[in-house]
Amino acid sequence: MTDHDAPDLVLRRWRAAAADPSTVLIDGFHALKHTLRFGGEVRQLLTTDRAALAELAATLAPDLAPALAVAVEVPAPALRELVGRPHPTGVAALAVRPDPERALERLRALPRRAPVVVLDNPRNLGNVGAVVRLAAGFGATGVVTTGDLDPWHPTVLRAGAGLHFATDVARLAPDGLPPGPLYVLDPDGESIHATELPDQALLVFGSERHGVGEELRSRADALLAIPMRPLVSSFNLATSVGMGLFHWQSRSRNFGGTAR
């Protein structure tokens, strides 16, 4: 595409690419930056202001300037028609979702250099995206969800800031989890401070309301609790994951990020 393509042609091309189930929406400059830096394949890139995009690139991601130079400028109403609620940076892209089978191979491979985060039947899309972001930052092997929530849902992707491409993200049944000892975070468990989490661990977290389901709870190698002030009912899911990963990181010799 070029700057001279008619707006209706640009919209038709976007819609055709978006109809492919292997593509996902990348919403905003920072999500696009992470997508590109971690090897994501971008098929379409639109912006409402190419000059503003070039300035962002020069300031925050000069290494990506050539990749961002292919962006096609469209009017703000056109971008709104395509994505509903454009990011304030006025940038949107369509990228190819990583191969799910290869992601599963990496999640199941042993030995691991970092734990896998398991979210048992999560309900909040934004929380799941925040967990993906945390997992990528801490260098976790990946994030696995059980239940019917799609961890590649557009709202999850928005909250994950493009970091789905920096770690492996998959949905699996409880009986299909990667190998490794199960450490279930549960208020009835022993303090996490007394346990050294192995790199092979599966760190299992439940929803704030219901906790971890009985199926995984009954299979746990250990129940661990994050100490909490009396009369406070729970931590936010993403906060709990962050504390669990920080506890692992603080004692692991392997911390330093995982390769994709």
Place of tokens 């770690």: 167
| Domains, the chain, with CATH or none | 7-96 (3.30.1330.30), 100-251 (3.40.1280.10)
- Report yes or no: 88 and 28 within 8 Å, Cβ to Cβ: yes
Q: 19 CB contacts (<8 Å, ≥6 apart)?
A: none
- Which pLDDT band holds residue 8 (cuts at 50, 70, 90)? confident
∠ CA 2-166-199, nearest 5°, is 170
The Cα 193–Cα 64 span in angstroms is: 41
Tell which residue, 206, 187, 240, 242, has the closest CA to residue 118: 206
Residue 114 three-state SS = coil
Q: b or e along 223-239 (b: 16 or more beta carbons within 10 Å of the residue's beta carbon)?
A: bbebeeeeeeeebebbb
Place of tokens 């038709």: 12
Which pair of tokens denotes residue 38?
């971690």
Task: Write down the pTM of the prediction.
Answer: 0.90
Tell which residue, 158, 241, 170, 157, has the closest CA to residue 206: 241
DSSP string, 20-42: STTEEEEESHHHHHHHHHTT--E
Residues 38-69 pLDDT 10s: 999 999 999 999 999 999 999 999 999 999 99
Is the per-residue pLDDT at 1 higher than 50? no
- Which pLDDT band holds residue 229 (cuts at 50, 70, 90)? confident
Is the per-residue pLDDT at 257 higher than 60? no
Q: What is the pLDDT of residue 6?
A: 60
Q: Quick one: DSSP state of residue 141?
A: S
What is the number of other CB atoms lying within 10 angstroms of the CB of residue 133? 23
